[in-house]
Amino acid sequence: MKRIVYSLLLILVIFLAYVEREKIIVIYDTYFVPLEEKVTKLEKNQYYRDYDFSYVKNTTNFIPSNKNDILNIYYTVVNSGMTDFTFYCPSEYSTCIEDVKDLAYNQDVISNLNNFVHPYNSFKKLKTEIETTGKISLNIEKIYDDEMIIILNYKVNDIIKNIIQNTDTERDKIKKIHDYIINNTTYDKNRSDKKIINYKSDNAYGVLIENYGLCGGYTDAMMLFLEVLNIPSIKISTENHIWNYVKVDDKWLHLDLTWDDPITQDNKNILDYSYFLISDTTLNSIEKIEHNYDKTIFNQN
């Protein structure tokens, strides 16, 4: 009789374990698996940038202990080109979930990450899922798809092959690319003024393939060339504008192709150099509204 009872109890335990297996797995994962083993393995694509900045830095620590750690995790994931990533808040970091929420729901902070990564790794949407267990899941939808990247890479390499010489200095190379983009691009006034979207003018495809651009397109296009030429750069953005910030001769200088391609009343094509590799001092002396940027985020000097 006892054997029958024990057998029935064993069957019941096995049955309950099967029915509640998902809850058991969650409990086991939550309390017995080290956080380091649960974090998604970081995989870097070919557009990963091995640069650290004053505002954000690449990290190998995915168990945050403060808000800055969280920001660096976000940056590292975006910079690596991953589309899905999971990390965890440790129990000893009592405000971690709230700090993740503060960062994830602040679109200004999140969108600024795009300024420090390769354009191909920049995102259209970054979604954060937060669980009470401390599990944080990131899902990233990128701006450039695989087909766009193939077309753009061919175009960029073809242009470099045809206009850049081995004897060119860095400034020579940047000037040639600056001139090429401006001479072959029309500012997309219909999209800017009338919100009529005929071209991908807000990214490099619109500028280099369709020959229409907005400031975001001019800036991304220039950055693609800078990356191939191994010239460090980031993008600086304000509420209504974006441009390149380039390291040349150990100095960070401003490069604004959009404002060097001014719109004239008679639609005359003009190539200007007012915003070609200029210092902060020069920039502030000629324009203080659209270029009034947050130096705590973007200034590298």
221 in Cβ contact with 204 (< 8 Å): yes
State how far the Cα of 226 lies from the Cα of 244, in Å rounded to an integer: 10
Joined together, the tokens standing for residue 25 give: 């797995």
Sign of CA dihedral 60, 80, 64, 108: positive
Q: How many domains does the chain have?
A: 3
**Are both 210 and 236 inside the same structural domain?**
yes
Query: What number of CA atoms fall less than 13 Å from residue 83's CA on the CB side?
Result: 7
**Are both 267 and 175 inside the same structural domain?**
yes
Quote the domain boundaries for residue 209: 146-298
Host H or E run for residue 12: helix 2-19
**Are both 41 and 61 inside the same structural domain?**
yes
CATH code (residue 219): 3.10.620
Please list, residue by residue across 84-121, b when 16 or more beta carbons sit within 10 angstroms of its beta carbon and e when fewer do.
ebbbbbeeebeebbebbeebbeeeeebebbbbbbbbbb
Which of 173, 178, 145, 261 shows the shortest CA–CA distance to 213?
261
**At residue 271, what is the residue type?**
L
**Are both 271 and 240 inside the same structural domain?**
yes
**Are both 127 and 213 inside the same structural domain?**
no
Which tens digits make up the pLDDT trace of 62-82? 999 999 999 999 999 999 999
pLDDT for residue 270: 80
| Segments of the chain scoring below 50 in pLDDT | 2, 12, 24-28, 32
pLDDT for residue 64: 96
**Are both 192 and 245 inside the same structural domain?**
yes
**Are both 164 and 279 inside the same structural domain?**
yes
**Are both 178 and 294 inside the same structural domain?**
yes
**At residue 247, what is the residue type?**
K
Joined together, the tokens standing for residue 80 give: 């690596």
**Are both 65 and 124 inside the same structural domain?**
yes
Strands 186-187 and 212-213, by their bridges, are parallel
- Residues listed for the chain: 301
Q: What are phi and psi of 141, to 5 degrees?
A: -105, 115
pTM attached to this predicted model:
0.88
Which tens digits make up the pLDDT trace of 179-210? 999 999 999 999 999 999 999 999 999 999 99
State how far the Cα of 208 lies from the Cα of 204, in Å rounded to an integer: 6
**Are both 20 and 101 inside the same structural domain?**
no
**Are both 106 and 189 inside the same structural domain?**
no
pLDDT for residue 25: 45
Query: What number of CA atoms fall less than 13 Å from residue 133's CA on the CB side?
Result: 17
Joined together, the tokens standing for residue 281 give: 């001092």
- The SS3 assignment for 46 reads coil
**Are both 137 and 154 inside the same structural domain?**
no
